[in-house]
Amino acid sequence: MTIWAGRAGELRVPASSGCWLLSAKGASVRCSRSRRRVSPAMAATGLMSDAAVTVNPSICHPKTSGTVRLRSPRPEDPPVINYCLLGEPDDVVALAKVCRNTRAIFATATMRPYVLSERLPGKHVQNVSDWAAYLRSSAFRAEHPVGTCRMGNGNGAVVDERSRVRGIDGLRVIDASVIPALPSGNTTAPTIMVAERGADFVRETR
């Protein structure tokens, strides 16, 4: 959570299983030596030299919430961010279920002829403890965090319905942090909407 004028907004970020990697017939080989973000499990495989398919099962509405805290009184110091990924046991259960469904999809009669092998997580991952161990070692944040300055009318809301920080005159927050809960899709469109509406609010006060 982030503390603003005595109010706190929780950091919400979706969790991804890291990677689902399968050797596949007919898949084009696309490798990059400068991947922006990969899971530890994916990084351990090194660069792919043959065709493969990757899938990133994710949970868009995790129960876990993280924190963003000040490192020091110096504004130039970066904040301390703790995503707390999979901090709630229910999130592990939910993500494991999505992964099992992903495996089932690739095992269907339609997909099975194109799958040569499952590299990650691997067939040895089967029971609840196997999934928990794999996910805790390979999961990563799926970006699109929201909520640290959540909008609302309750005592815990950081900004009001016009993006004004409660308790501080002349200050607004107009970005994805005011979104109180993760949307099921990408946050780009909602953030553009927040920015356009926030710009209207600023113009109306001039």
Active-site residues, by number, are 144
Residue 124's alpha-carbon distances to 109, 132, 164, in angstroms, are 22, 13, 52
Question: What b-and-e string marks burial along 94-110, b requiring 16 or more CB atoms within 10 Å of the CB?
Answer: bbbeebeebbeebeeee
How far, rounded to the nearest angstrom, does the alpha carbon of residue 201 sit from its chain's CA centroid?
29
Phi, psi for residue 193 in degrees, rounded to 5 = -60, -45
The span from the CA of 28 to the CA of 53, in Å, is 9
Sign of CA dihedral 109, 110, 115, 119: negative
Q: Locate 195 and state its tokens.
A: 């920015």
C-beta separation of 68 from 173 below 8 A: no
Asked whether the beta carbons of 86 and 15 are under 8 A apart, the reply is yes
Phi then psi for 44, rounded to 5 degrees? -65, -20
DSSP state of 63: S
